[in-house]
A and B are shown apart, each in its own frame.
Chain A
């Protein structure tokens, strides 16, 4: 067990070691400073030329939003139709069928919004064409969308008074050419050399030593698995995601994938410090996020390493911890670390099934997604944290009886209202969704859908309720992991989570962008002795308190019915 814990510590340490210089580099890229990847500039110019874009055209926050939403709409329409007609398109060696409209609706949205809930299985639900030309493509561009949105906000925070916030297309394209694509190439090569398939051949087959004939799914998976982590997407090539021995063959790929999924979110925090020239602010944010992460991680590791009490009750000692839904090569500690990281940032890839983890771990995973800003997803992680900061500034202002200010701009009713609405949106979507599904389950168990409500749940009692709660929480957080026992490929889940996905993605982008845009237009007020210092540890703690209070008030009742009740029944 010692080597497993050490594996976790070294993996996290390595992440920080790499995130530090990467953060500096990201700041330089968006600052327009010289970097070692400047040789990409001609390629970018070509992209702009072919697309009829002038990257020097300055946009205000509304124009940024319009550009962002327009291109996202284009992707959705494109993805939807390819998924429906994939059986008529090339690169389908396994002969997989087209998706039903409701599944295609869910899948298209899910990948456009960087979530990757997968209500299909990679081996049988999509063609190679869809995997590459829709899903992996969207994994790149959805991550770049989040990063570009964050850069706009940072630009607004940095300037004294302006409405010129750079060019959306430039931020977006550079996120791909300077960051996501180069890192993906490196990572895909590491994966390929450790056994992840990368060729276009269809299923392989062999006759086993016991004489069974077995077909083996494969395909050009390495590239997708790279971007699925670097872009905090999470949607895997295979149904079993990163627990699949081809998707995550050994401990080297475990470390690679673990580092990859959290490196950009952490690097973004460091980049923020350089970019807005407030390093101390960035360190405080990083510190609070890390404390939050540890509060979720430590109980999870302890619980998983101790094993399942119900199995201990049968008389089996569990020196290797809880192993249901886990792989031997990762072990319980490595799987626990993954499950927390993948839920606090919005990856949602898994190397062990969360449905089979212990109730305490399930609770931590749910909390990670509900808070959704301890590091958080590519770009959007800080946007979520930013909303909490606005609330914290407002509350601090009330406590000392001064008009609240943030980064030299007065925070007034309009901005606070936006922040409050965004904060309330998550509990509304999650709890209303779970309530609706519970109602349908209880009152219309035999509704004639692809999966009848009576067959939705893979587990009885409290845990079954958690499966539904988890699905909406994951959709709202744009996370994409699931308590996968849930029978979710039917019109009810495809449509309802589809709408939760859209709202849970775009409103939390629109809100912070609007707040930052509105602030940047206001008169700049130089800091004085009476200014609330947002880069102090005290303010960091206030923000953490705001996060805890808001989330506890929102979710405690629902969590009591799910994992907390399950915990009490198990012990």
Chain B
């Protein structure tokens, strides 16, 4: 062991310089050319930064498309999920409450039509997306409050729906922040 201790320490120092010093600096330099310059891409609306492109934010007002429930209340200084097990009675009570709340705010919607992601917490607590169905089901509520025809809102959801990658890989999704910005811009 004695024979190896000195080479081990010296090799460790060398590798720290390369792997922890130079490597991330190099990536950081290249990322300057990426959208957002490696700082995280922000979204600007009416001249001010209203969020990060990839990070979900809280939308609870009836005039906006709601985002998903979040275990960290969309506080992006942290992140995380509920970690509730499928059969946990307290958890199931929470889901039931979310269903009830949704039905109160969205009269006319039938329980069985509620997309499940609207009543379950995401993994990161910062999920930026909804499935197209989860956006569409909120259209009636928003149309009524804003006085915009539902067909226009459905078209808006369609317009902001991102299909699967290359048209065939993975789920379809709608970015809630982009959708709500577009909603505010509708006049």
State the A residues within 8 Å of B (CB). 3-4, 6-7, 10-11, 47, 50-53, 66-67, 69-71, 73-75, 78, 121, 123-124, 132-134, 136-137, 140-141, 169, 173, 176, 181, 184-185, 188-189, 192-193, 195, 197-201, 203-204, 206-210, 212, 214-218, 220, 222-224, 238-240, 243-246, 249-252, 254-255, 307-311, 314-331, 334-335, 350-353, 355-359, 458-461, 463, 466, 483-485, 566, 569-570
Q: Is the CB of B11 within 8 A of A217?
A: no
List the B side residues contacting A222 at CB < 8 Å: 27, 31, 38
Q: Is the CB of A316 within 8 A of B112?
A: yes
Q: Is the CB of B23 within 8 A of A181?
A: yes
Separation of A466 and B85 alpha carbons in the complex (Å) = 10
- Please give the distance in Å from B138's CB to the nearest CB on chain A: 15
Q: Is the CB of B58 within 8 A of A208?
A: yes
Separation of A323 and B130 alpha carbons in the complex (Å) = 11
List the B side residues contacting A251 at CB < 8 Å: 164-165, 169-170
List the B side residues contacting A6 at CB < 8 Å: 168-169
- Please give the distance in Å from B38's CB to the nearest CB on chain A: 4
- Please give the distance in Å from B72's CB to the nearest CB on chain A: 8
Q: Is the CB of A198 within 8 A of B31?
A: yes
Q: Is the CB of A169 within 8 A of B11?
A: yes
- Please give the distance in Å from A44's CB to the nearest CB on chain B: 11
Contacts A201-B39, A208-B50, A329-B170; A220 near B28 (Cβ below 8 A): yes
Within B17-56, which residues are at the interface with A (CB < 8 Å)?
A: 18-21, 23-24, 26-28, 30-32, 34-42, 45, 48-56
Contacts A66-B1, A192-B31; A310 near B92 (Cβ below 8 A): yes
Q: Is the CB of A356 within 8 A of B83?
A: yes
Q: Is the CB of A217 within 8 A of B83?
A: no
Separation of A457 and B120 alpha carbons in the complex (Å) = 20
A-B contacts, 20 of them at CB < 8 A, read: A47-B14, A69-B1, A71-B4, A74-B5, A141-B12, A189-B27, A195-B36, A197-B40, A200-B28, A207-B48, A210-B60, A212-B57, A214-B75, A216-B55, A239-B80, A324-B121, A325-B122, A328-B68, A355-B81, A485-B83
Q: Is the CB of B86 within 8 A of A310?
A: yes
Within B118-148, which residues are at the interface with A (CB < 8 Å)?
A: 119-131, 133-134
List the B side residues contacting A216 at CB < 8 Å: 40, 52, 55, 76-77
Separation of A123 and B79 alpha carbons in the complex (Å) = 8
Q: Is the CB of B77 within 8 A of A217?
A: yes
Separation of A137 and B18 alpha carbons in the complex (Å) = 9
Q: Is the CB of A322 within 8 A of B86?
A: yes
Q: Does B104 contact A (CB under 8 A)?
A: no
- Please give the distance in Å from A461's CB to the nearest CB on chain B: 8
Contacts A75-B12, A328-B173; A217 near B86 (Cβ below 8 A): no
Contacts A216-B40, A324-B86; A206 near B7 (Cβ below 8 A): no
Count how many chain B residues have C-beta atoms less than 8 Å from C-beta atoms of the other chain: 107
List the B side residues contacting A322 at CB < 8 Å: 86, 116
Q: Does B15 contact A (CB under 8 A)?
A: yes
Contacts A124-B78, A212-B57, A463-B85; A51 near B14 (Cβ below 8 A): yes
Known: A7-B170, A240-B123. 8 other contacts (CB 8 A): A206-B49, A220-B27, A320-B171, A327-B124, A328-B68, A328-B171, A356-B83, A484-B81
Separation of A331 and B54 alpha carbons in the complex (Å) = 17
List the A side residues contacting B76 at CB < 8 Å: 214-217
B61-86 contact mask (Cβ, 8 Å, vs A): 1 or 0: 10010001000001111111111111
List the A side residues contacting B3 at CB < 8 Å: 66
Separation of A312 and B42 alpha carbons in the complex (Å) = 38
List the A side residues contacting B9 at CB < 8 Å: 74
Q: Is the CB of A193 within 8 A of B35?
A: yes
Closest to B48 in A: A207
Q: Is the CB of A71 within 8 A of B27?
A: no
- Please give the distance in Å from A513's CB to the nearest CB on chain B: 15
Separation of A71 and B15 alpha carbons in the complex (Å) = 12
Q: Is the CB of A311 within 8 A of B26?
A: no
Q: Is the CB of A239 within 8 A of B5?
A: no
Q: Does B117 contact A (CB under 8 A)?
A: yes
Q: Is the CB of B169 within 8 A of A328?
A: no
Closest to A132 in B: B20
- Please give the distance in Å from A181's CB to the nearest CB on chain B: 7
Separation of A192 and B32 alpha carbons in the complex (Å) = 9
Q: Is the CB of B170 within 8 A of A331?
A: yes
Separation of A167 and B28 alpha carbons in the complex (Å) = 34
- Please give the distance in Å from A403's CB to the nearest CB on chain B: 36
List the A side residues contacting B20 at CB < 8 Å: 132-134, 136-137
Contacts A70-B4, A222-B27, A325-B81; A208 near B125 (Cβ below 8 A): no
List the A side residues contacting B77 at CB < 8 Å: 123-124, 203, 214-217
- The CB with the most chain A CB atoms within 10 A, among B4, B61, B77, is that of B4
Q: Is the CB of A356 within 8 A of B81?
A: yes
Kindly identify which residue among A206, A245, A311, A330 contacts B171, using a CB–CB cutoff of 8 Å: A330
Q: Does B89 contact A (CB under 8 A)?
A: yes
Separation of A201 and B40 alpha carbons in the complex (Å) = 10
Closest to B124 in A: A240
Within B142-158, which residues are at the interface with A (CB < 8 Å)?
A: none
Closest to A238 in B: B79
Q: Is the CB of A3 within 8 A of B123?
A: no
List the B side residues contacting A133 at CB < 8 Å: 16, 20-21
- Please give the distance in Å from B161's CB to the nearest CB on chain A: 12
Q: Does B180 contact A (CB under 8 A)?
A: yes
Q: Is the CB of B129 within 8 A of A195?
A: no
List the B side residues contacting A140 at CB < 8 Å: 15, 19
Q: Is the CB of A566 within 8 A of B50?
A: no
